[in-house]
Chains A and B, each alone.
Chain A
Amino acid sequence: MGLTTPRTGGLLALALVIALLPLAFRNNYHYDVAIHIIINAAVVVGLNLLIGYAGQISLGHAAFFGLGAYTSAILTASHGWPPLAALGAGAVGVGLLAFLIGQPILRLKGHYLAMATLGFGIIISIVLNTESALTGGPDGMVVPAFTLFGWNLYGEKSWYWVFGGLLVLVTWLALNIIDSPVGRALRGVHGSEVAAQVSGMNTSHYKVLIFVVSAIIASIAGSLAAHYAGFITPGESGFFRSIELVTMVVLGGMASTFGAILGALILTLLPQLLAGFEDYEMMIFGAILMVTMIFMPKGLLPTLLRLRRARS
């Protein structure tokens, strides 16, 4: 296990970048943008386990993020739960839900899986929009601050370290899962599910497991993001948001944990860079998607690495 492997070297580099980045920040806006990048990165690293490694697409992943966020919001705001307990309850609830729907959904393949996850995401988003007595409806709801043992988590600077820690943790978890027997099983499923089954592997068991893991990661990120922003709307769980997450995975590079982080970085920064061109944002977003997929179906990072290897 040298420093050049992604599991140690890559993780160390990531932690170092997160630790040193604030040196370059000049104001709270910089912190805020970095936090949004990190939130997306954490969700996308989880989603990449499912899409990139297990080869199972999910077009409804934002629903898990939204459910985590709303569970935290409702339990803390309306029922006075401590934020950490609400976050845990959200994670357990979302995990259970993912386990239950994962059984029938992950039996489907290709287009059918895409459609089922999409339908699931839309239904959740409609529920969050409609149950306004509970969720505040399309207008969204206010989320109380995150307090822990009487200590109030406040301001972009403190939150930056919380999210930074979360991303390192999630990345560490993902890298370990990939290198574990579960990870090898997943790659087997991606390569040829039939071959994996023939060699005695319970493929549906592994697929559901990774579905649950990625859903729980999204839920926790959603809970924290809701407390950080202090406000949530159902848009956070919508179809477009799900598409954004999948795009980050695919753009950065499927089956590449650091590629996924790169994808989150680029696509979260893009709207900031396009300030003043808001009207063109959707067009540019769509064009990037098409061009990347046509010319670099493996995604940015794997393509760049291959180019470098070819040159040396």
Chain B
Amino acid sequence: MFSEFLQFLLTGITLGTTYALVGLGFSIIFNASNVINFAQGEFIMLGGMTTVFLVGAGLPLPLAIVLAVIATGLVGMALEKFAVEPAGNAEVVTLIIITIGASLFLRGLAQVLWGKGFFALQAFSGEEPINILGAIIVPQSLWVIGVSVVIMAVLWYFFSRTMLGRAILATSHNKVAAQLVGINTRFVLLMSFGLSAMLGAIAGIIIAPISLTSYDVGILLGLKGFAAAVLGGLGSGVGAIIGGLILGIAETMTAGYLSSDYKDAVPFIIMLLILFFLPRGLLGGRGTERV
């Protein structure tokens, strides 16, 4: 009984930390530019797929991972430079469509490069399952949770202690004021897209040994990460983490105790309820609109 519950809980946390990383990516870009980046899911896909193919080309896993994260970061910056920045101060609908276009473009590119198959990435440290109080988990789950915790700590340090991190925060609070105190807000935008893409890539890489990867893996993972960001409060970092964990756990609990058919619907049902009754999310403080 308890071991079963623990099993679902651990699986949920593994899944939830992935959603949290993706949700953090959404929040970083939303804060810096007020853009909801619908291409966020493609960063997850690019991270996983690039690593698989670099390993296939004979590179050692750690090097492949580093290169894949850097490459995805560059794609993120290219997206900002060539698609978001030229649009200027376009309407929300326009910006949404631009990032959806970018997402289709990247997904289509991956399909042309790597085909429509599913690929497995080797686990980072063996496949021998670990028994924790009766619950069985694969070592990769510990990697997912551990890496996510480290990343979150690094992000916290970055945003509260480094100049660039604080510049990004300042820009998100008030762009004009940030410019007036000498912050290069264009550079900040570029960096936030790069950072967010790298976060997505890392999420895609650490989850790939557990859930396989393919050219279209980014759609559902991206949308669920997005639901996590909404649940926690769009733009709130801690909110995205809490939101991700709640969604991951709710999803695996539903699959375990109710029905696995509707587990994919759970994050979206929760997101709708939150939007209807608590539109700013659990921790979001900023207004939903400006007149």
Contact yes or no, B100 A243, CB < 8 A: yes
Residues of A in contact (CB 8 Å), total: 46
Determine the distance from Cα of A109 to Cα of B264 in the docked complex, in whole angstroms.
Answer: 25
Assuming A115-B275, A297-B90, A297-B91, is B108 touching A283 (CB within 8 A)? yes
Interface presence of B53 (CB below 8 A): no
Interchain nearest-CB distance for B31 vs A (Å): 13
Contact yes or no, A130 B289, CB < 8 A: no
Interchain nearest-CB distance for B83 vs A (Å): 5
Kindly identify which residue among B90, B101, B223, B272 contacts A287, using a CB–CB cutoff of 8 Å: B101
Determine the distance from Cα of A18 to Cα of B139 in the docked complex, in whole angstroms.
Answer: 63
Contact yes or no, A111 B93, CB < 8 A: no
Assuming A126-B265, A294-B98, is B93 touching A250 (CB within 8 A)? yes
Contact yes or no, A126 B264, CB < 8 A: yes
Interchain nearest-CB distance for B261 vs A (Å): 5
Contact yes or no, B90 A126, CB < 8 A: no
Chain B residues near A216 (CB, 8 Å)?
Answer: none
Q: List 29 A-B contacts (CB under 8 A).
A: A55-B93, A57-B93, A104-B275, A105-B276, A112-B275, A114-B92, A116-B275, A116-B276, A119-B272, A120-B268, A122-B223, A123-B265, A126-B262, A126-B268, A239-B219, A243-B104, A279-B112, A280-B108, A281-B108, A283-B104, A283-B108, A283-B111, A283-B112, A286-B100, A286-B101, A286-B105, A289-B97, A293-B94, A297-B91
Contact yes or no, B105 A287, CB < 8 A: yes
Assuming A250-B93, A290-B83, A297-B90, is B104 touching A285 (CB within 8 A)? yes
Chain A residues near B104 (CB, 8 Å)?
Answer: 243, 282-283, 285-286, 289
Interface presence of B269 (CB below 8 A): yes
Q: Which residues of B contact A (CB under 8 A)?
A: 30, 36, 83, 86-87, 90-94, 96-98, 100-109, 111-112, 219, 223, 226-227, 230, 234, 261-262, 264-265, 268-269, 271-272, 275-276, 279, 288-289, 291
Contact yes or no, B265 A127, CB < 8 A: yes
Q: Name A83-121 residues within 8 Å CB distance of B.
A: 104-105, 107-112, 114-116, 118-120
Chain A residues near B230 (CB, 8 Å)?
Answer: 112, 115
Interchain nearest-CB distance for B198 vs A (Å): 22
Contact yes or no, A290 B272, CB < 8 A: no
Determine the distance from Cα of A55 to Cα of B94 in the docked complex, in whole angstroms.
Answer: 11
Kindly identify which residue among B86, B96, B111, B227 contacts A114, using a CB–CB cutoff of 8 Å: B96
Q: Name A235-291 residues within 8 Å CB distance of B.
A: 239, 243, 246-247, 250, 254, 279-290
Determine the distance from Cα of A77 to Cα of B15 in the docked complex, in whole angstroms.
Answer: 41
Determine the main DSSP class of A at the interface with B. helix
Contact yes or no, A112 B271, CB < 8 A: no
Chain B residues near A119 (CB, 8 Å)?
Answer: 227, 268-269, 271-272, 275
Contact yes or no, A293 B226, CB < 8 A: no
Chain A residues near B219 (CB, 8 Å)?
Answer: 239
Chain A residues near B92 (CB, 8 Å)?
Answer: 57, 110-111, 114
Chain A residues near B234 (CB, 8 Å)?
Answer: 111-112
Contact yes or no, B93 A290, CB < 8 A: no
Kindly identify which residue among A51, A280, A283, A289 contacts B93, using a CB–CB cutoff of 8 Å: A51
Interchain nearest-CB distance for A82 vs B (Å): 33
Determine the distance from Cα of A111 to Cα of B105 in the docked complex, in whole angstroms.
Answer: 22
Chain B residues near A288 (CB, 8 Å)?
Answer: 101
Closest partner residue, chain A, to B271 (CB atom)? A119
Determine the distance from Cα of A57 to Cα of B36 in the docked complex, in whole angstroms.
Answer: 14
Interface presence of A162 (CB below 8 A): no
Contact yes or no, B90 A293, CB < 8 A: yes
Chain A residues near B108 (CB, 8 Å)?
Answer: 280-286
Interchain nearest-CB distance for B17 vs A (Å): 22
Chain B residues near A17 (CB, 8 Å)?
Answer: none
Interchain nearest-CB distance for B281 vs A (Å): 10
Closest partner residue, chain B, to A238 (CB atom)? B219
Interchain nearest-CB distance for A92 vs B (Å): 23
Closest partner residue, chain B, to A131 (CB atom)? B261
Interface presence of A229 (CB below 8 A): no
Complex A-B, nearest 9 residue pairs according to Cβ-Cβ distance, in ascending order: A289-B101, A286-B104, A282-B108, A286-B105, A283-B108, A290-B101, A119-B268, A104-B276, A126-B265
Assuming A115-B230, A243-B100, is B272 touching A286 (CB within 8 A)? no
Closest partner residue, chain B, to A290 (CB atom)? B101
Closest partner residue, chain A, to B272 (CB atom)? A119
Closest partner residue, chain A, to B112 (CB atom)? A279
Closest partner residue, chain A, to B261 (CB atom)? A130
Kindly identify which residue among B36, B103, B223, B265 contacts A111, using a CB–CB cutoff of 8 Å: B36
Determine the distance from Cα of A284 to Cα of B105 in the docked complex, in whole angstroms.
Answer: 7
Closest partner residue, chain A, to B101 (CB atom)? A289
Closest partner residue, chain B, to A251 (CB atom)? B97
Chain A residues near B291 (CB, 8 Å)?
Answer: 192, 194
Chain B residues near A243 (CB, 8 Å)?
Answer: 100, 104
Closest partner residue, chain B, to A279 (CB atom)? B112
Closest partner residue, chain A, to B107 (CB atom)? A282
Contact yes or no, B94 A297, CB < 8 A: yes
